[in-house]
Amino acid sequence: MSMFFTNARIINPASDYDKKGSLAIVDGKIALYGDDIKAPKDAETIDCGGKILCPGLIDMRAHAVDSIAAAAGGITTVVLQPDQNTMIDTDAVVERIRRRAEDGSSSRVYPMGTATQRMEGQQIAEIGQMQQSGAVAFTDCRKAVSNAQVMRRLLEYATYFNALVVQYPEEPCLAGEGVAHEGETATRLGLIGIPAAAEAIQIERDARLAELTGSRIHFSMISSKEGVDAVRAAKKRGAKVTCSTAPHYLMLNDNALEGYRTFAKVMPPLREESDRLALVDGVADGTIDTLVSDHDPKSEDVKRLPFGQAAHGIVGFETLLALALAPVHAGKVEMMTVLEALTSTPASLLGLDTGTLAEGSPADIVIFDPDKPWRIGADALRSSAKNTPFDSLPVQGQVWRTIVGGDLLFKEDA
């Protein structure tokens, strides 16, 4: 089946293209796009009404697939973290996830494998075998590989496969049993704090190891000004360093914990206003390479507990785009920069053939109205859980259509 989208603002970050025009899909592939093209024979013509059409969003960090919520959020590729009930630490598990993802009509799913065996930080996992089976990167998820010698060997081993190692940027001894940012709010609430220095120290150590080994390393979930500064300095030295953050760090500071609001308990913790502003600046100047949802559905049974006992994590698929657009509407970040962080950059880092509107690439696209106002409602979310700190928040930017491989997965009016 052929589809022809007209009257769209077409943005393709991979080629820095931003013009009004049309796009054609034939046999599940991008056929062509531009401002003066004709519809393929027998194609279904769809008027986009001036909305933005761009590559489907690629979410580099999710702890659950939640396919309906992903499609509603314009996410066409979900990168699953290895901290599943069955840990993603062998090629057999990777193959099972890839086969299951290919069988259904849903967003594409790619797993990250563990970086060390059982995520224990002692012995390197079989990343070569997992990569052959379809793993796109390797991480111990919310655990930093704390042993410097193990990390050095891991990075050296990864270079043989051009594999991407993803490190959680938090020095575990400094973090200890902390549950909040070490600062005024944590002190007032009587919560154990995690200093921002724990993030910077881990980044600085591993950036040096990346330089030593000539390897690539990606830091997930940057949350502090110190972390942004450490990444920026490493890039200036020429280290093969990239990093990501999530929109909740761009939107919230640790004041969100007032009243012991466990729905704002995340890892790493929300930090001070100066950190939030530094993260926005880091996205704007390209220091922060990608934006992720860190989608982690948790039931009320594990969230509505005393703060120290409550589970961390929030849902993020359906709010990813609107929250990421908030700095754009505020005039702090360019639209192209945000969409690049959600499409072409993660595709390049992970070696995917999506994230672009290039001719012959898979027809994974999202069409959205960047200015349409709506209010986030926890009860209206399609996620398997409703744990969001953004309940009732007014936002702008709503997904209109989500298409994967030429198949319509989400339609706003449906």
Q: How many CB atoms lie within 10 A of CB 331?
A: 7
Output DSSP code: residue 406: T
For residue 232, which of 278, 271, 182, 282 has the smallest C-alpha distance? 282
Concerning whether 294 is annotated as a catalytic residue, the answer is yes
Q: Are strands 180-181 and 193-194 parallel, antiparallel or unpaired?
A: parallel
Instruction: Give the end-to-end CA distance of the chain in Å, rounded to a whole number.
Output: 20
List the catalytic residue out of 66, 294, 296, 369: 294
In whole angstroms, give the CA distance from residue 343 to residue 352. Answer: 10
Angle at the Cα of 110 from the Cα atoms of 152 and 210, rounded to 5 degrees: 20
For residue 312, which of 178, 164, 166, 113 has the smallest C-alpha distance? 178
In whole angstroms, give the CA distance from residue 59 to residue 70. Answer: 9
For residue 193, give every residue at least 6 positions away whose Cβ sits within 8 Å of its Cβ, in sequence order, or none.
Answer: 178, 180, 181, 182, 183, 186, 187
Phi, psi of 185 (to 5 degrees): -65, -45
In whole angstroms, give the CA distance from residue 248 to residue 240. Answer: 26
In angstroms, how far is CA 3 from the centroid of its own chain? 29
For residue 368, which of 406, 331, 320, 405 has the smallest C-alpha distance? 320
C-alpha count within 13 angstroms, C-beta hemisphere, residue 234:
32
Write down how long the chain is: 414
In whole angstroms, give the CA distance from residue 203 to residue 167. Answer: 9
**Amino acid present at 320:** L
In whole angstroms, give the CA distance from residue 167 to residue 243. Answer: 9
In whole angstroms, give the CA distance from residue 396 to residue 329. Answer: 8
* Tokens describing residue 226: 């110190």
Q: Which residues are catalytically annotated?
A: 294
